[in-house]
Amino acid sequence: MDATYAQRCPSCDNNSILASQTQYEVEHFGAVLLSVTVCQRCGYRHSDVIALSNREAVALTAKISSLDDMNMRVIKSGTATISIPEFGATITPGPYSEGYISNVEGLLAKIEDALTFMLSTAKGKRLKKGERMLKKMQMARDSKPRFTLIIKDPMGNSAIVSPNPRKIQKRKLTNRELRAIKFGQYAVFGGCNSLRPCVQG
């Protein structure tokens, strides 16, 4: 299923945005709808991924311990929170958080890009902590991956897909987690503190 239609842009308020939707079949997960909107006037862009079957709030955990694991498919929706405890990294959904289909390596690259941009204005402890985090990510992506990838999605639209399903742990989010988690554009957002930098993406 492919569809394209025009709508009003939330950035420049002109009726100049084109939205396209494409259905994909993801192995070991099911059908997903990839939605991409681009404004022809101001360049605003947004994408998201929605599962086409009913999904429950989910927490996914994958131990990344080899370069092969870096190729695991990642479906990250706009409502997903991503954590990598070994790096001290938490990526929370913001009001314009995007969804995408990539792999673990591509996910790290996106986090690195966002972190590099954030560090351009950081100072003091926040700058040093961010630089250490960035160095760990680059080492992991280039040669020595050994970390835990955790994705929590209250809408259930995210997934980590591996040829070996035993590498992925999956459970329901608890009621306590659901009360604390951010929902992206569907919730009110809080800030991150200087000793635990967060990246919106």
DSSP string, 97-154: ---EEEEHHHHHHHHHHHHHHHHTS--HHHHHHHHHHHHHHHHHHHT---EEEEEEET
Q: Compute the chain's Rg from CA coordinates.
A: 17
Residue 162 is predicted with a pLDDT of 92
Domain boundary among 38, 54, 70: 54
Residue 19, token pair as written in the block: 């939205």
State the alpha helices, DSSP H only, in the chain: 104-119, 124-142, 175-180
Question: What is the per-residue pLDDT for 84?
Answer: 94
Residues 144 and 142: their CA atoms lie apart, in Å, by 7
d(CA 53, CA 72): 21
Q: Are residues 162 and 131 in the same domain?
A: yes
pLDDT along the chain (201 residues), means of 10: 70 86 80 87 87 87 95 92 92 83 93 88 89 89 90 93 92 91 52 38 47
Task: Assign residue 10 the CATH number of its domain.
Answer: 2.20.25
Q: Tokens for 42?
A: 């101001």
Bridge partners of 161, per DSSP, are 73
pLDDT of residue 187: 37
Residues 117 and 168 in one domain: yes
* pLDDT at position 70: 95
Compute the half-sphere exposure of residue 16: CA atoms within 13 Å on the CB side of its CA.
10
Q: Which domain holds residue 103?
A: 55-200
172 and 117, same domain (yes or no): yes
Could you say which of 54, 74, 94 is where a domain stops? Answer: 54
Predicted local distance difference test score (pLDDT) of residue 144: 83
158 and 66 fall within a common domain: yes
Specify the pLDDT at position 4: 63
pLDDT on residue 28: 67
Q: Looking at residue 11, what is its pLDDT?
A: 85
